[in-house]
């Protein structure tokens, strides 16, 4: 299902997100009258696997006999476009895979869903898996490039290998992630050195809880202005990687993956990194109702935050995902990045199915005419 504890509707074809009940023929009604977000939400189609062979777990050789687990709509063959969809903190790659299959109706599109296995999800010793927590206590460290439990391979290196593999037989790859997956693709899209980013890769970032900022500036709510915080007084780690680009020695510098250190330091300054990032095809989407900052049910304004991170490092980016999206977009403008596109998806909260199936989601992920133009340009240059 597309949301935490989601509900299947009686028609067996649609569903509602957590906190909502199926009402009428086409919408979901909030079960809590004090819900501060929205009383009605659209339903989304339940994903259905038409061929059970699609749920066969595959493995991509990254290096040193280690495999990245993934699901795939078919094997390698000539395709115009591949779509890579990255799961969230629940690591439910099969759910995301199914949702993306429902979105497309073109068999020429290759859908792949990598699975960043957790500590209790190891299926075979040869498959890469990641710790549930890092030394800082942050969960799902794969989302910022952590090295695997059973190898020195970074999750970003694994994604590089997957995209490079897809590009051998396809013209264009769109990489989309939601929630923790949105965090992953934003950071990977920033640091990856794949040459194909020039015109063969698109990254779609949806509803992340935090971003890797490109400068130490943050918006100060009390002063109503952008400024560089006094880190020692307010939040010493606020600009460390995963929230910023600081990878210099510090309390937690030992947990910064080597891939990340090499990518940032190897660019000889953040100006070069920003310039390269500005030229990449990146789209940011956020649900207009993904503004819950409440994690408990016993509040006056009930809502479910879906694991919104609330450390001081996160709160310097905003109090909820919608606010963090708006601030991050402004932060990019302040460092000269205006090419990246961004949209707010109306009437949608923290739900990957509704985000992907929205008009904004479809346009960003599929974008047939834009992808065709990129392919023609690439062929003309080769």
78-121 pLDDT tens trace? 778 899 999 999 999 999 999 999 888 767 789 999 999 999 88
The CA distance from 247 to 145, in Å, is 13
Enter the tokens of residue 43: 């339903």
Q: Which residues contact 195 (CB under 8 A, 6 or more apart)?
A: none
The CA distance from 20 to 29, in Å, is 5
| pLDDT tens per residue, range 151-173 | 999 999 999 999 999 999 999 99
For the chain, domain boundaries: 1-46, 57-381
CA distances from 42 to 4, 28, 208, 236, 322 (A): 16, 6, 21, 42, 19
| pLDDT tens per residue, range 198-243 | 889 999 999 999 999 999 999 999 999 999 999 888 899 999 999 9
The CA distance from 253 to 50, in Å, is 47
| pLDDT tens per residue, range 339-365 | 999 999 998 888 899 999 999 999 999
Q: Produce one character per residue of 11-35: b if its CB has 16 or more CB atoms within 10 Å, e if not.
A: eeebbbbbbbebeeeeebebeeeeb
Q: How far is CA 146 from the centre of its chain?
A: 15
User: pTM of the predicted model, to two decimals?
Assistant: 0.92
For the ranges 23-37, 139-153, 281-295, 330-344, the lowest mean pLDDT is seen at 23-37
Quick one: DSSP state of residue 76? Answer: S
Q: With 60 as the cut, is the pLDDT of residue 4 above it? A: no
| pLDDT tens per residue, range 45-86 | 887 777 776 789 999 999 999 999 999 998 667 778 899 999
Enter the tokens of residue 231: 């880190």
Enter the tokens of residue 278: 């500005």
CA dihedral 278, 282, 283, 286 (to 10 degrees): -90
pLDDT value of residue 368: 60
User: Which residue from 89, 88, 58 is spatially nearest to 73, judged by alpha carbons?
Assistant: 58
CA distances from 141 to 111, 130, 172, 322, 324 (A): 25, 7, 28, 23, 20
Q: Which CATH class is domain 57-381?
A: alpha beta
Q: How far is CA 89 from the centre of its chain?
A: 10
Q: With 50 as the cut, is the pLDDT of residue 305 above it? A: yes
pLDDT value of residue 210: 98
Enter the tokens of residue 30: 């909030």
State the chain's mean pLDDT as an integer.
Answer: 88
């Amino acid at each position: 299902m597309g949301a935490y504890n989601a509900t299947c509707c009686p028609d067996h074809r649609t569903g509602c997100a957590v906190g909502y009940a199926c009402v009428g023929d086409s919408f979901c009604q909030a079960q809590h009258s004090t819900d501060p977000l929205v009383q009605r939400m659209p339903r989304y189609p339940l994903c259905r696997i038409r061929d059970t062979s699609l749920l066969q777990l595959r493995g991509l050789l990254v290096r040193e006999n280690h495999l990245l687990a993934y699901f795939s709509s078919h094997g390698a063959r000539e395709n115009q476009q591949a779509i890579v969809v990255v799961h969230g903190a629940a690591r439910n790659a099969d759910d995301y895979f199914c949702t993306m299959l429902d979105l497309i109706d073109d068999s020429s599109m290759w859908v792949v869903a990598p699975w960043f296995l957790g500590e209790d999800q190891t299926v075979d010793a040869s498959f890469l898996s990641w710790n549930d927590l890092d030394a800082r206590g942050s969960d799902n460290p794969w989302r910022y490039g952590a090295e695997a439990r059973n190898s020195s391979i970074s999750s970003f290196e694994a994604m590089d290998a997957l995209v490079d593999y897809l590009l051998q037989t396809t013209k264009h790859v769109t990489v989309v992630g939601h929630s923790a997956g949105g965090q992953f693709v934003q950071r990977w899209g920033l640091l990856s050195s794949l040459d194909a980013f020039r015109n063969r890769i698109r990254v779609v970032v949806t509803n992340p809880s935090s971003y890797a900022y490109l400068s130490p500036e943050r918006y100060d709510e009390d002063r109503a202005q952008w400024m560089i915080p006094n880190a020692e007084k307010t939040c010493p780690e606020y600009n460390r990687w995963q929230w910023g680009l600081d990878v210099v020695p510090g309390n937690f510098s030992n947990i910064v993956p080597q891939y990340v250190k090499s990518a940032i330091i190897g660019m000889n300054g953040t100006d070069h990194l920003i310039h390269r990032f500005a030229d990449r095809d990146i789209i940011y989407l956020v649900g207009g109702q993904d503004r819950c900052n409440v994690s408990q049910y016993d509040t006056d304004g009930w809502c479910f935050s879906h694991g919104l991170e609330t450390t001081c490092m996160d709160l310097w980016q905003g109090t909820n995902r919608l606010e963090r999206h708006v601030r991050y977009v402004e932060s990019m403008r302040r460092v000269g990045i205006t090419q990246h596109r961004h949209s707010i998806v109306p009437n949608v909260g923290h739900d990957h199915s509704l985000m992907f199936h929205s008009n904004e989601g479809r346009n960003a992920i599929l974008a047939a005419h834009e992808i065709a133009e990129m392919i023609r340009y690439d062929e003309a240059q080769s």
